[in-house]
Structure 1
Amino acid sequence: MRAMKVGNPATIDSLELVNLPDAGRPGAGEILVKLYASSLNYKDYLVAEGLLPVEPGRIPLCDGAGEVVAVGDGVDDFVIGDRVVAVFHTRWISGDMPSDAMRAAPGDSLDGFAREFVVAPTKWFSRAPRGYSHAEAATLTCAGVTAWRAIVPDGPTFAGQSVLVQGSGGVSIFALQFAKAMGAVVIATSSSDAKLEQLKALGADHVINYKATPEWGEVAYNLTGGVDHVVEVGGAGTLPQSLAAAGYGGHISLVGVLTGRAGEIPSNLITRKRLRVQGVQVGSREDHLDMVAAINATGIRPVIDRSYPLEDLANALRVQESGVHFGKITIDIQ
C-alpha cells in the first residue's frame, strides 16, 4: 500500500511517499479499513516540519475516513461496507482524560492515516455521519471533536448565550456551527473582510475585523454585555483580548497556539471576572460519538476549502501553514 512518511530530519520537503507491505488481516476485535480521505490540522504541520518531534518514518495525519473491508473475530459493532471515521484519542474513552492519552494519538505517537489501509481496534473508529462523503467525515476527527468539546461538554453552551470564535479555520467554523445549533449568538473575528462575509453566511451574528480593530475584545464585550464562551485558538497573542471580551463568570476554551506559546497575560481579569480558563485536548470517544449523533440530528456539514492528493501532501501543508484557506483542507487517498 502507498503511505506518506515523515523524513529524517523532519521537514515538509522531506516527506516521502513509500510503498509498504499489505496491512494484513484484522485480528480479534479489529477491523481493516480502506482509507479514502484525511484532512489537515495545525498539529499535522508541526509534525511534518519537525516542530512536534516524532519517531523517524512516522506516518502522519491524525484524521482519517474510509470503509470497513474486513472484520476480525468477535466484532459485532461494525460490518463490511460500513463508512467510518477515525477517533482521535484511542485511550480516552469517556470521563476525565487519562494522563497517558497523548501516548496513543495517531499521527503523533502512533502511525496516522496518510496511508491506504489500516488494521486497528474497533474503538479507533466510529460510523461516519449519515450522507457524509469520506472527505467530509475526515474533517471531524480532530477539529470537529475539539469544537464540540469546547462548545458542549466543557461549555456547556445554552440557547441565548454568546460565543466568540476566532478566525476561519476548521475548529472555529465547527464551533460557530455547533454554537448556532445550540441557539447561541455568535461573534466571529478575522483579519479578512471577505472571510467575515463568509462567516456571516454561515450564521455569525456579529463580525469583527481584528486587524482594523486591535481592541476587539472591548467591542465584543459591548456587543454582548460580556461573552459567555470564547473559543481561543490564537494563544498568547490573542488571549488578552479574549479575556477582555469575556463576561463575568465567562468561560474560555484554550485550543491553539497560533500566535505563540507564551506571553504576558492580564491575570487580574481572570480573577476580577471570575473566569474559567480551560485547556482543550480534542475530546473522548464518547464526545466523538455524541458529536456524530448531533450532526445526524441537525444536518450540519463541514466547510471544505480545497483538496489535494496524497502525493501532494507537502503543498497541502504549506497552504495549511499560510492560513489562506477557509475551513478544512482535505487529502484524497486513492
Structure 2
Amino acid sequence: MQNTLKRWQLTRFGPHNLSLEEHPVPTPGPGELLVRVEAVSLNYRDKLMIENGMGLPLAMPFTPASDMCGTVIATGAGVSRWREGDRVISTFWAGWTDGAWPADSFALGGTGPGMLASHVVLNEQWAVAAPRSLSAAQASTLPCAGLTAWFALVETGALRAGQTVLVHGTGGVALFGLQIAHAHGAQVIVVSGSDDKLAQARTLGASHGINRQGAADWVSAARELTGGRGVDHALEIVGGANLGRSLQALAQGGRASVIGILEGDEVSSSVYPVILGRPTIQGISVGHRRALEELVRAVDATGLQPVIAAEYDYTALPAALAHLTRGPFGKVVLKF
C-alpha cells in the first residue's frame, strides 16, 4: 500500500488558497473503510464551499467535495458491510440512512470530511455499492446530483409515465432529472439559454426545449406545450424569483422541488399561483442512503449513462473549477 496520499485543502477561503498537500495514508479505525479514490465529481455547492464556506463552522485545513467513487483497500475492526476490493460511492449525508433527516447527520465536504484526496477514510455506513454498469467517473456523479433528482422525482414525487417534468438548465441535477423522467415514461421540457444545449438535451430524451433568451414568456410556452394544463413536476434549480415562474407553469396540484440557489438564497412568488394552483412546494437537500441504493439499482437496470462534460486529472482542480463556473453540459469530474 502507498504510504502517502495527496489531498486538496484550504487554510482560508478562496480558490487561490487551494493547495495540493501530501499526508501519510491513514489506518481505518473500528467500523471504518480506507478507500483508494478513483474519481471525484464536482458540484456547484463545492465551488461555494471553497469560496466562502456557505456560513458553516468549518475546521481548517478544509478539504472540499462530497462525491467519490473508489475501491476499498483496507477495513477496520468490526466492519461487516464491505471487504477489500469492493467498489463504493460515498453518501452525501453521513448518518442519514432512511426516513426523516436526523439532526446529528452532517454533509461530506462540509462539516464532514472532504473527498478530494487520493485516499479517504469513511465510516462503513457512509458508503453504497457502486453501479456495476458505470465507470468510476460516471459513478462518482450519483451521490449528490443523481440522488437529488431521484429524491425529488421518484422518492418523494411519485413520478409516473405520462406526466410532464420541467427542468431548468443543463447542469448535473437537471440532466439527471431529464434522464430519470425519460426512463419513467414522462415527457420532459428543458428551459435553457442555449440552443446548442437544448439540441443536446433532445438527444437524451427531452420532448421539448424552450430558449429562455428567445421566448418572450417561457411560462406561457411551457403551458402551451402541455395543452394549457401545465407541468406535473418542476425541478427549481435557479432559485430567487424563478420559483414564482415555475409555480405559474405547474398544473393544478403539481409539485415544485426547490433545489438550487443560482439566483440567490431567497425565493419569491406571488401568492396567487399557490392559492389557485394548490401546488406542493418541497425543499430537496439530496437524500438518504436507502434512496441512493435504489438509484444505483435503477441505473444498472435501465442502462442510464450520466452525462460528463469533462474529466480532469486530480492535479488540475483550478481548471476543473473554472469549467464548472462556465456552466457545463453535465458533470465535471476529477480522476485520481
Which bin holds the TM-score, normalised by the shorter protein? over 0.9
Task: Identify the residue that residue 16 of structure 1 maps to in structure 2.
Answer: 19
- Check whether the contact 2:243–2:267 (CA below 8 A) recurs between aligned residues: no
Equivalents in 2 of 1:262, 1:213: separation in Å?
Answer: 25
Instruction: Pick one of 200, 203, 206 that aligns with 2:202.
Output: 200
Residue deviations 1:264-322, cap 9 Å, x none? 41122112100111000000011111111111111101000101222221221122122
Instruction: Pick one of 176, 185, 188 that aligns with 1:186.
Output: 188
Residue 151 and residue 307 in structure 1: after superposition, are their counterparts in 2 closer, same or farther (change >3 A)? Answer: same
**What percent of counterpart residues are identical?**
40
Matched, 1:250 2:254: yes
Deviates more, 1:260-269 or 1:15-24: 260-269
Deviates more, 1:27-36 or 1:172-181: 27-36
Residue deviations 1:97-123, cap 9 Å, x none? 12333xx21111112100111122111
- Check whether the contact 2:36–2:71 (CA below 8 A) recurs between aligned residues: yes
Residue deviations 1:176-204, cap 9 Å, x none? 11111111111111100000000000000
Which of structure 1's runs of 4+ aligned residues deviate more than 3 A? none
DSSP 3-state at the match of 1:172: helix
- Check whether the contact 1:176–1:204 (CA below 8 A) recurs between aligned residues: yes
Q: CA shift at 1:214, angstroms?
A: 4.3
Gaps of 5+ in 2: none
Task: Identify the residue that residue 163 of structure 1 maps to in structure 2.
Answer: 165
Q: CA shift at 1:7, angstroms?
A: 3.4
Residue 76 and residue 98 in structure 1: after superposition, are their counterparts in 2 closer, same or farther (change >3 A)? Answer: closer
Matched, 1:41 2:46: no
Deviates more, 1:237-246 or 1:178-187: 237-246
Alignment of 1:229-248 (within 5 A): 229-248=233-252
Matched, 1:228 2:228: no
Letter in 1 for 2:81: D
Alignment of 1:16-165 (within 5 A): 16-24=19-27, 26-53=28-55, 54-101=58-105, 104-165=106-167
- Check whether the contact 2:95–2:126 (CA below 8 A) recurs between aligned residues: no
- Check whether the contact 2:41–2:67 (CA below 8 A) recurs between aligned residues: yes
Gaps of 5+ in 1: none
CA RMSD of aligned residues (A): 1.3
Q: CA shift at 1:263, angstroms?
A: 4.9
Residue deviations 1:53-90, cap 9 Å, x none? 43321110111110011122332322211111111111
Equivalents in 2 of 1:237, 1:307: separation in Å?
Answer: 33
Q: Aligned pair count?
A: 328
DSSP 3-state at the match of 1:308: strand
Matched, 1:292 2:296: yes
Q: CA shift at 1:128, angstroms?
A: 0.5
Q: When the two structures are superposed, what TM-score results if normalisation uses the length of structure 2?
A: 0.95
Letter in 2 for 1:81: G
DSSP 3-state at the match of 1:50: helix
Q: When the two structures are superposed, what TM-score results if normalisation uses the length of structure 1?
A: 0.95
Matched, 1:326 2:329: yes
Deviates more, 1:44-53 or 1:144-153: 44-53
Equivalents in 1 of 2:80, 2:126: separation in Å?
Answer: 15
- Check whether the contact 2:191–2:210 (CA below 8 A) recurs between aligned residues: yes
